[in-house]
Amino acid sequence: MHRLFSRSCVLFAVLAIWTHFAFGQSNYGFELADIDQGRLSNPEQSRNRLSAIPINALSAEEREYYQYLNAYFLTFDGDLDAVIAEYSALLEVSQSPDIRIRTFSSLINLLGAKKQWQEGFYRVEELLALLQNHPDSTYRPAAYIALALLYKQINQPETALHFAERALSIDNIDLFHKCLAMEVKLVSVLNLDIEKLSLSDFTDADAVCNAANLDYELINIALWKIKWLKQQARYQEALNVLQLTLFQAEQFRQDSQLIEIYNQFATLHVALKQYEEAQQYAEMALSLDNIDSFVGAKITMFDVLRQLAEVKQDFEQAYYYLNEKLSLEKTMFETKLANEMAIQKAWFEVDAKQNQIELLDKQNDLLKTESQLTTEQLENSLLALSLVSLLLATLLFWSYRSRKVQAKLRYYAHTDGLTRIYNRGFFTDSAENLLSQAQKNNNPVSLILLDLDHFKNINDSFGHQVGDWALTQVASTISRCVGQHGIVGRLGGEEFGIALTVTDSGVGMRIAEECRKAIDNIDTSQSGYNFKLTVSAGVGCSSHAGYKLDNLYAAADLALYQSKHYGRNRVYEYSANMSS
């Protein structure tokens, strides 16, 4: 049990490189590095060696190293909250970029294991910033794999694949982390596009994990290979691989893998119409002590038993198994939904905090600008007083300059500094004027809200400079689609708005769809990277929501929510029967 516990905790708690720190000529520095190298192969002995080191005799840099290793060994005690507290405390005092990268990597996966999503997402932001500032760190593979595992856990295979590939692109990646990265890549591609996989992908991953002597990952890769073969109806090949995998798993004795192996045996024998064997393996899986912890496997087993009962024409028993399966599916769905809602809430709260920080930065910039303008005006007045002989010329000059300054201020008061379209304040004023005039003339008005999909992933993956490029491209694309027919503004972050007078609500939908398609076709390679830009849009019309801007905004926002909820990169129009 100790080995099984250490395996599951280590992969979540610490993803560290085999290389060590250099601490000058200190004997304790070399001792710590030697303990670091042996902590995976012999954790108990390494922990005893660490406890024998007098912490008061260490330098500040060595003390950080000691604290990191001590937190790692605490993982084996099973109190993950205590380990999280140790890593968090280390981040408060640590100055070493390498120690900080390793600590963030370990902490992120522990927070994922505890489903503390909001804190985990904050730490992701901090780790990405740290990696950007230290691109040559030896510990980048561990960091990228920590991120890949987190995004795999929250069911975002595109982002998980991105970080796994970044880890694999590093030349000096060791076999341990290369094995983990290849496994995440296999799982992500299987979830995204199974046709992109070939038998050689599994063979390559198997060779690396075998060289790294990682039994748990070898069995996982074999199980993914079996699923891949099953989806191609290559049942006998899958069965052959499964028989070899069972022998290996029985040596390793990991319940989760044994349950999955019995699961695969049962479904394969059903596919091959070998019903007695299927019955045997289904019952073996259900007899394991931990089966109640693996709801998905239990659902599959009840479905197998239902099929077998139907073959025997025992419909009463088949009905029982069906009810058991449906009950478990309901429980699993509710758990999954609650988990997804918690993840979404955490993302929203992180984004809200980030937007608040950006707003404070902009307010500080505005105060600086006002201070500079005040200083300029004072200097101008003093200059005018000291140059009496040139009073007329000076007055003319400053009059001209003042007009330019005022024009510039008016421009900045109306315009978003990045995208050069209207800012939120001026867009709101203009939209209210448009609504007032349209109401007098009894003309309908459409309000369109557009939100850039997965914009945070662009910033995380490619940096804020690429994110700013994406925002300017989207803004100019929307402006071209709308032309002179309406008002376009940036409402904040990655959200844009369009207000226009229309003949009917269909015009708003048409404009929104044109914008969506145009943005979908933006060539992102001009940024230096290849990625997909899409928007979700919501359309509200005054014929449904009236001429009050708050009501019209709420209608468009609800429609935008529907677009996000039902898959993104689409347009929805508000209707009275649309649920919030």
Domain coordinates in residue numbering, the chain: 1-138, 346-414, 424-573
Query: Each residue's pLDDT tens digit in the chain (580 positions)?
Result: 334 444 444 444 434 333 333 344 357 888 888 888 888 778 888 889 888 899 888 888 889 889 999 988 888 888 889 989 999 999 999 899 999 999 999 999 899 888 888 888 888 888 898 988 988 888 899 899 999 998 888 888 888 899 999 989 998 898 989 999 999 999 898 888 878 888 899 899 999 999 988 888 888 898 889 888 988 889 899 899 888 888 887 776 677 888 888 888 888 888 889 989 888 888 888 888 778 778 888 888 888 889 988 888 988 888 998 998 898 888 888 777 777 777 777 667 766 666 665 556 565 665 565 556 655 655 655 565 565 555 555 555 554 454 554 555 556 678 998 999 999 999 999 999 999 999 999 999 999 999 999 999 999 999 999 999 999 999 999 999 998 889 999 998 899 999 999 988 789 999 999 999 999 999 999 999 999 999 999 999 998 889 999 999 999 999 999 999 888 999 999 987 775 5
Q: pTM, whole model, 2 decimals? A: 0.56
Q: CB-based contacts of 45: which residues, under 8 Å, 6+ apart?
A: 38
Strands across the sheet containing 535-541: 487-492, 495-501, 445-452, 535-541, 571-573
User: What residue has token string 């599959």?
Assistant: 300
Report in angstroms the alpha-carbon separations of 455 from 54, 317, 402, 458, 494: 48, 51, 40, 5, 7
Q: CB-based contacts of 285: which residues, under 8 Å, 6+ apart?
A: 259, 262, 263, 266, 291, 297, 298, 301
Looking at 2.60.40.10, 3.40.50.300, 3.40.50.1360, 3.30.70.270, the CATH number of the domain 424-573 comes to 3.30.70.270
User: What element of type H or E holds 465?
Assistant: helix 464-482
pLDDT value of residue 449:
97
Q: What is the 3-state secondary structure (H, E, C) of 64-97?
A: HHHHHHHHHHHHHHCCHHHHHHHHHHHHHHCCCH
What is the DSSP track for 248-295? HHHHH--HHHHHHHHHHHHHHHHHTT-HHHHHHHHHHHHHSTTGGG-H
CA dihedral 434→436→440→442, nearest 10 degrees, is 60
The per-residue b/e assignment along 59-90, b for 16 or more CB within 10 angstroms, e otherwise, is eebbbbbbbbbbbbbbbbeeebeebbebbbeb
User: What element of type H or E holds 502?
Assistant: none
Q: What's the CA gap between 67 and 74, in Å, rounded? A: 11
- Tokens describing residue 210: 């075998």
Cβ 93 vs Cβ 63: under 8 Å: no
Q: What's the CA gap between 500 and 489, in Å, rounded? A: 12
- Tokens describing residue 292: 């109640």
Altogether, the residues listed in the chain come to a count of 580
Query: Among the residues of 134-156, which ranges form H helices?
Result: 140-153
**End-to-end CA distance of the chain, in Å?**
48
Q: What's the CA gap between 224 and 258, in Å, rounded? A: 14
Q: What's the CA gap between 534 and 475, in Å, rounded? A: 13
Looking at residue 492, its amino acid is G
- Tokens describing residue 526: 């001009």
Q: Is 397 helix (H, G, I), strand (E, B) or coil?
A: helix
CA dihedral for 421, 422, 427, 429, sign (positive or negative): negative
Q: Is 58 helix (H, G, I), strand (E, B) or coil?
A: coil
Burial class (CB in 10 A: 0-12, 13-18, 19+), 52: exposed
Q: What's the CA gap between 95 and 99, in Å, rounded? A: 8
User: What residue has token string 């009501």?
Assistant: 551
Cβ 321 vs Cβ 344: under 8 Å: no
pLDDT value of residue 24:
41
- Tokens describing residue 510: 């048409």
The per-residue b/e assignment along 173-201, b for 16 or more CB within 10 angstroms, e otherwise, is beebbbbbbbbbbbbbbbeeeeeebeeeb
User: What residue has token string 């920590």?
Assistant: 146
Could you tell me what percentage of the chain is helix, strand and coil, using 3-state DSSP and rounding each to the nearest 5?
A: 75, 5, 20
- Tokens describing residue 268: 């394969």
Strand 535-541 to 445-452 pairing: antiparallel
Strand 535-541 to 495-501 pairing: unpaired
- E strands present in 56-112: none
Cβ 444 vs Cβ 546: under 8 Å: no
Q: What's the CA gap between 207 and 225, in Å, rounded? A: 14
Q: What's the CA gap between 579 and 559, in Å, rounded? A: 9
Cβ 207 vs Cβ 222: under 8 Å: no
Of 443, 445, 514, 505, give the one whose Cα is nearest residue 478: 514
pLDDT value of residue 402:
47
